[in-house]
Amino acid sequence: MSAVSPLNALQIVINELTTGLMADGRDLEEATAALTGLNQRWFTAGQGRSGLVAAMVAMRLMHVGHDAHLVGEATAPSIRVGDGIILFSRSGTTPVTVAQAQTASSAGATVLAVTENAGSPLAQAAKLVLRVPAGPSQQFGGSRFEQSALVLFDAIMFSLAPDTESQRTMQHRHDNLH
């Protein structure tokens, strides 16, 4: 295996991220619209590194004012009618994530699938799909998908709270126990 310089590796990641962010504008608008009402609880979940992205998105949802929960945390309540859940899975076939989508849908929650595969079981169980076209990658595993999903949700959160006053409110909600 030949080594790649850090600067060359960075350029590869930047190039892949740029093309991975070419999400469908309509999907992006629908996902953003679903997150505009603050009277809805939102849950997030994913497995592996997608689960880490889900945790970061839950944190930002809380920062913009949502009652947000990471599935599996001890303080996460049960999902109910009127709630929403954002599920991350590149393949859209991860068994646990698909089962969570089906459970949430059966409970009457809005399911937002974040996946590369718009025809997957996860997408089929969802009301909304945000397709992240990560495609082939020189990086290991699903890094390109996870990076793209995180940046897309950071953009969504920025669009929900773009001004200084909104960001002051977000800062007030930021953890101060460290």
Helix, strand or coil for residue 25? helix
Residue 146 annotated among the catalytic residues of the structure: yes
Topology of domain 24-173, CATH = Rossmann fold (3.40.50)
Spot the catalytic one: 29, 30, 73, 146. Answer: 146
134-176 tens-digit pLDDT: 888 999 988 999 999 999 999 999 999 877 777 878 788 887 7
Indicate if the pLDDT at residue 100 is higher than 90. Answer: yes
